[in-house]
Amino acid sequence: MDLHLEAISHDYGDLSVLKNISLDIHHKEIVCIVGPSGCGKSTLLRIIGGLELPTAGNVLQLGNVPADTLNPLTYIFQDFALLPWRTVKGNIALALEEHGLSAAEMDATISDVLARTKLSEFADALPRQLSGGMKQRVAIARALSVKPAIMLMDEPLSALDSQTRELLMDDLVDLWVREGFTAFYVTHNLAEAVRLGHKIVVLSRRPGEIRDIVSIDIPLNERSAFAHDLETKQKQLWDMMREEALAADQELIDG
Amino acid sequence: MDKAATTQTTKSIQNNAPDNFSARPVPFRGGGFQPKPIRGVAPFVFIGLIAFWEFGSQTGFISSLVLPAPSEAFQAFRELIESGMLLIHLSASMQRLLIGWICGTTLGIIVGLMIGLSSIARAGLSPLVSAIFPIPKIALLPLFIIWFGIGEGSKVATILFGTFFPTVITTYGGVDNVDRNLIRMGQSFGLSWSSIVKKIIFPGALPAILSGCRISGSIAIILLVAAEMIGAEFGIGAYILLAGSLFATDQLIAGVAILSTMGLCFAWLIGRAEKYFLNWRT
């Protein structure tokens, strides 16, 4: 299943947040969306997943949803969004309960995704007992459990410290190499974008417009060997964003 | 190498120190503002106070006209047990309390959820609740008697009304405080409206609902005495009122002590419920 964004614009009252965004995502591709703060990255992601209606434009699903997919467009949130009163297992079950699976199927799915995210021994822990990195792994496991066609990741690593972020980034690369998922990945961290993105969409400051789309052709699992090239890309992106970021920083919020 | 470096630093400190400054430890300024539970203090205060009271009464320092001795109140309590009246009073009161409180909080939770979940219910009911909540329900007693009769109905209704409004307010406050991101998460996984309410909003509001129960439980006990002013033959409140009008202060104190014990038991039960249902909190 591919996704096509058709001339999406969005305003909050008089404030225009997104302007004329057209974009495609293809199967097994990670599209990173970067831009200065307040440029509407997260709003765009909410629009893509149907949590918010754009003022103009459409999000179109191209092709059929795979048969075993329970929830085609699945989010991973910055703040993990785990229910604190449910265990790790219970949090994953929450996403499955709605789909009328048998208890055995549900158990099988849960232990499968826990194993894939290396969480098997924490099945009965409560979120408060887990570190930030572990919580995000639970959220990733929950997302995987519904076999999404496209994952919508809203700054998934931004709430984590830099060491945990490195580890989790490696996990995501591993996961992509093994299973190849499709994802929109919103971030403000350019290093994440060049490590994980096949396509990097650079948005301008508010109202967010596409400034450029940068493609990186190096396969994800070989990127560590091309550190220099990535650094050049990252610098190129930063040069593009620098002034926008500076201007965005000096804007008054209520403007 | 390391050792040498360390000695050198120490030396340089020692060398430098006497010149201009004297070395002294940085004064500690942190700590405090962290209440810790201390066992045994509460019973000590409690027993100490009663012992002082008894001592005062025995020596005549506290006149028995002003305040009966604890031993006299205890004697009145024993008489209450021996005559078998305690059970009758207690069961009459407990019945009113339980029916009134259970109906009041259940209805309160339902209406609170409605206000929390629906904009129309909020617009229509929340000003009404705010308007009726501060009215002392005791003032409405005559109306309750006309509406629900002089029997059990008006007594239960007093407690029901008294517990209903605070429960409504704490419940919708709790619903308002549920993390909106969790609700968005539920929607993003395609959960139905009823699942979101059942699995995300209700458990999220439960801490507020339970602390509302604590408040409504105390209100119920306060209103019990008021409710039993309406021609009740039996009940702890009726017993206290009768003792009061006869100036049998020993019985009055015994009755008040029973009410206070009921309140403590209720608070303990709510505490257990919180431990059980909210073990996910830190």
Query: What ipTM does the predicted assembly reach?
Result: 0.89
pLDDT for the residue numbered B8: 52
Q: How many CB pairs under 8 A join A and B?
A: 51
What residues of chain B lie within 8 A of the CB of A81, using their CB?
179, 181-182, 184-185
Whether residue A207 has a cis bond before it, omega within 30° of 0: yes
Low-confidence spans in chain B with pLDDT less than 70? 1-20
Nearest C-alpha of chain A: how many angstroms from B105?
23
The Cβ of residue B165 has, within 10 Å, a number of other Cβ atoms equal to 24
Is B199 an interface residue toward A (CB < 8 Å)? yes
Nearest beta carbon to residue A51 from set B184, B203, B281 = B184
pLDDT for the residue numbered A250: 79
pLDDT for the residue numbered A252: 72
Question: Residue B189 and residue A84: Cβ atoms within 8 Å?
Answer: no
Contact B70, B46 (CB under 8 A): no
What residues of chain B lie within 8 A of the CB of A79, using their CB?
181
Contact A238, A229 (CB under 8 A): no
Contact A151, A143 (CB under 8 A): yes
Q: How far apart are CA A140 and CA A172, in angstroms?
A: 9
Is B207 an interface residue toward A (CB < 8 Å)? no
Stated pTM of the model = 0.85
pLDDT for the residue numbered A77: 94
- The residues, ordered by sequence, that sit 6+ positions from A148 with a Cβ below 8 Å of its Cβ are A69, A71, A72, A73, A74, A181
The Cβ of residue B177 has, within 10 Å, a number of other Cβ atoms equal to 13
What does residue A59 show for φ and ψ, rounded to 5 degrees? -110, 120
Q: How far apart are CA A138 and CA A132, in angstroms?
A: 10
Is A74 an interface residue toward B (CB < 8 Å)? yes
Hunting for tokens 């009073």 — which residue is that?
B89
Is A255 an interface residue toward B (CB < 8 Å)? no
Tokens of A236: 């190129």
pLDDT for the residue numbered B1: 44
Is A15 an interface residue toward B (CB < 8 Å)? no
Question: Residue B188 and residue A83: Cβ atoms within 8 Å?
Answer: no
Is B182 an interface residue toward A (CB < 8 Å)? yes
Tokens of A103: 């208890």
Is B194 an interface residue toward A (CB < 8 Å)? no
Average pLDDT along chain A, 255 residues, taken 10 residues at a time: 91 89 92 87 92 92 89 93 95 92 93 92 94 92 93 92 90 90 92 91 87 88 85 89 81 64
Residue in B closest to A76 by C-alpha? B185
